[in-house]
Amino acid sequence: MADLTSLAYYIETFGCQMNENDSERIAGVLDAAGARRAASVEESGLVVVNTCAVRGKSEEKLYSYLGRLRTLKRKRGLIIAVAGCVAQLHRDGLIDGRPFVDIVVGPDNYQRLPEALAPSLAQGRVFARVLTSRSRNWDEEARRPVLRENRVSAYVTIMEGCDNFCAYCVVPFTRGREKFRPLRAVLEEVEALAQAGYREIQFLGQNVNIYRDPATGTRFPDLLERAAAVPGPEWIRFITSHPRTFDPETVRAMARSPKVCRQLHLPLQAGSTAVLGRMKRGYTRDEYFEKIHLLRAAMPDIHLSTDIIVGFPGETEEEFRETLSALSEIRFSNIFSFRYSPRPRTAAAKLPDDVPLDVKRRRLIEVQALQKTIQVELHGTFVGRTIRVLGTGRSRKDEAVYSGRSEGYQVVNFRAPDDAVGRFVRVRITGYGPYSLRGDALAFEAPRLVAPPRPAALG
Ligand code: SAH
Ligand code: SF4
Ligand code: F3S
């Protein structure tokens, strides 16, 4: 192997949407350097594992995956790169005791991957490299294409990092301090995506609400408005908002633009003001409820989703019941719920993890059972209605069945007489389960997306 042109790479992604988008950036960088994508680990000479550190379990996924790669590496040559949040969190600590890991690369350093690989490839043996410096170069990034797998909906990162330091959260130590991507680069990317036929744009950041263009100071509600003015994509979403900084201006910008989906993910974490205080979330239960009222007053049909943690240090049974009552009162369309897991370097790691595992387990089951009942009731109200769905995929089992998302981000499986991927479809809802809706296509709205011959490479 002499250079990157003879290298086949495989990327395994764990974690959130930002990691998915980062894997598309990594693919773009490797592709621009001449490497090609392999269909499987077995066919690759380089495996990049893009990792998540948010909970103990997320990190453990990396170690069990590395076990598999190590066996493979013993049989034949293989370069192993660990990317993402675990890489940034542990840096050279990842190589200590794991000499089979060749490269450790954090989120600010993906542009440097080809340069890190070149000496190893030229000399036929691997030189270990740790690339975890902290300086995001948005300009250099803009010159490298993002190699997207999804041709319908595109992730666009607008900011990265977090300065909130919630007591339980490792993200400020993996993604670093808040960094804002220039508005010009964001809008250029949206325009390129529009030209490539993308139907939906999803803006990403750990705290999108506090976005500020480094050059002009333009803020998030204006970013939404400017993006909505780009003809082409019909749906715009964003994740994540923080209840403390989610502001009335953003509510107004959402309500004004028909392109901004009537959907919002607003992580509550806990229903008790005392627990929220210990978590250092910066808002009370009442303040959270006020934001929900504001949203529903402006957009009565809005779908809300949230994140919940059970068993945070010191969480009493009464405090936990307040999480259940918040779920009953607000009636989210979807939730993501987790058992508290202590993480290195966080403030909560210094507190005793004193809610017993079986209590955490039982609380999680209660949360999920309650939410399931709420979703069944909510989904029941859809039967007989005709809703707008963006087709995103086809069922493997049945050619005539497609899957897609509603404006509220609900999964909708539907029968359609023609290819529905990349098209807006009017679907009549005929059935449901707790986690999805079912229906039949009545009409196609937009012209068929002309599929590019290969995943669209965008600059
Ligand atoms: N930037 C986003 C995402 C954070 S991680 C935000 O601020 O919401 C996604 C979710 O994981 C969090 O909202 C939280 O519910 C959960 N989480 C984070 N750290 C955790 C921990 N130590 N234990 C359990 N759940 C955790
Ligand atoms: Fe973590 Fe809190 Fe920042 Fe979200 S806002 S990434 S939960 S520290
Ligand atoms: Fe995980 Fe990092 Fe995302 S810790 S949730 S991959 S920001």
Cβ–ligand 2 contact at 174 (below 6 Å): no
Closest ligand 3 atom, residue 14 Cα: 6
What the block records as the tokens of 419 is 């290819």
Q: What is the average pLDDT across 261-284? A: 98
Q: What is the average pLDDT across 219-225? A: 98
Q: Band of the pLDDT at 447, cuts 50, 70, 90?
A: low
How far is the centre of ligand 2, averaged over its atoms, from the C-alpha of 389 (Å)?
31
Cβ–ligand 1 contact at 306 (below 6 Å): no
Cβ–ligand 2 contact at 171 (below 6 Å): yes
pLDDT per residue as tens digits for the range 12-37:
999 999 999 999 999 999 999 999 99
Is the Cα torsion angle 420, 421, 422, 424 positive or negative in sign? positive
> Which H or E run contains 179?
strand 179-180
Q: What is the average pLDDT across 287-292? A: 98
Of the chain, the percentage scoring pLDDT greater than 90 comes to: 87
Q: Is the pLDDT of residue 454 over 60?
A: no
Cβ–ligand 2 contact at 242 (below 6 Å): yes
How far is the centre of ligand 1, averaged over its atoms, from the C-alpha of 240 (Å)?
11
Mean pLDDT estimate for the chain? 94
**Phi, psi angles (nearest 5°) of residue 386:** -110, 125
pLDDT at site 450: 45
Pocket test for ligand 3, best of 22, 24, 52, 178 (most atoms within 8 A of CB): 52
Burial of 196 by CB count in 10 Å (0-12 exposed, 13-18 middle, 19+ buried)?
middle
Closest ligand 2 atom, residue 170 Cα: 1
Pocket test for ligand 2, best of 169, 178, 266, 279 (most atoms within 8 A of CB): 169
pLDDT at site 141: 84
| Domain range 386-444, its CATH number among 1.10.260.40, 2.40.37.10, 2.40.50.140, 3.20.20.70 | 2.40.50.140
pLDDT per residue as tens digits for the range 386-407:
999 999 999 888 889 999 999 9
Q: What is the average pLDDT across 52-70? A: 97
Q: Is the pLDDT of residue 42 over 80?
A: yes
How far is the centre of ligand 3, averaged over its atoms, from the C-alpha of 449 (Å)?
32
How far is the centre of ligand 2, averaged over its atoms, from the C-alpha of 293 (Å)?
23
Q: Whose CA is nearest to atom 6 of ligand 3?
A: 52
How far is the centre of ligand 3, averaged over its atoms, from the C-alpha of 16 (Å)?
5
Cβ–ligand 2 contact at 146 (below 6 Å): no
Would you call 436 helix, strand, or coil by DSSP?
A: coil
Q: Whose CA is nearest to atom 3 of ligand 3?
A: 16
Q: Whose CA is nearest to atom 2 of ligand 1?
A: 206
Cβ–ligand 1 contact at 240 (below 6 Å): yes
Does 386-444 match 138-380 at the fold level? Answer: no
Q: What is the average pLDDT across 354-369? A: 98
Q: Starting from the CA of residue 175, give the closest ligand.
A: 3
Q: What is the average pLDDT across 399-422? A: 96
Contact at 8 Å (CB) between 421 and 449?
yes
How far is the centre of ligand 1, averaged over its atoms, from the C-alpha of 54 (Å)?
6
pLDDT at site 446: 62
Closest ligand 2 atom, residue 281 Cα: 2
How far is the centre of ligand 2, averaged over its atoms, from the C-alpha of 60 (Å)?
21
Q: Residue for token digits 């170069």? A: 137
Pocket test for ligand 1, best of 307, 336, 340 (most atoms within 8 A of CB): 307
> What are the boundaries of each domain within the chain?
8-131, 138-380, 386-444
Report in angstroms the alpha-carbon separations of 125 from 36, 102, 117, 209, 325. Answer: 20, 10, 10, 46, 59
Cβ–ligand 2 contact at 169 (below 6 Å): yes
CATH number of 138-380: 3.80.30.20
CA distance 387 to 385: 6
Cβ–ligand 1 contact at 18 (below 6 Å): no
Euclidean distance between the first and final Cα of the chain, in Å?
29
Angle between the 113-123 and 17-32 helix axes, to the nearest 10 degrees?
A: 50
Closest ligand 1 atom, residue 336 Cα: 15
pLDDT per residue as tens digits for the range 90-141:
999 999 989 999 999 999 999 999 988 887 777 766 667 899 988 888 888 8
- DSSP symbols for 218-272: -BHHHHHHHHHTSSS--EEEEE---TTT--HHHHHHHHH-TTB-SEEE---B-S-
Query: Closest Cα to residue 144, out of 109, 103, 102, 101?
Result: 109
Q: Which amino acid is at 31?
A: D
Number of H-type helices and E-type strands within the chain: 13, 21
Q: What is the average pLDDT across 203-208? A: 98
Angle between the 248-256 and 220-228 helix axes, to the nearest 10 degrees?
A: 10
Q: Starting from the CA of residue 344, give the closest ligand.
A: 1
Cβ–ligand 1 contact at 168 (below 6 Å): yes
Q: Band of the pLDDT at 145, cuts 50, 70, 90?
A: confident
How far is the centre of ligand 3, averaged over its atoms, from the C-alpha of 122 (Å)?
33
Q: Which residue has the higher pLDDT, 3 or 109?
A: 109
To the question of domain 8-131 being in CATH 3.40.50.12160, the answer is: yes
Q: Is the pLDDT of residue 451 over 50?
A: no
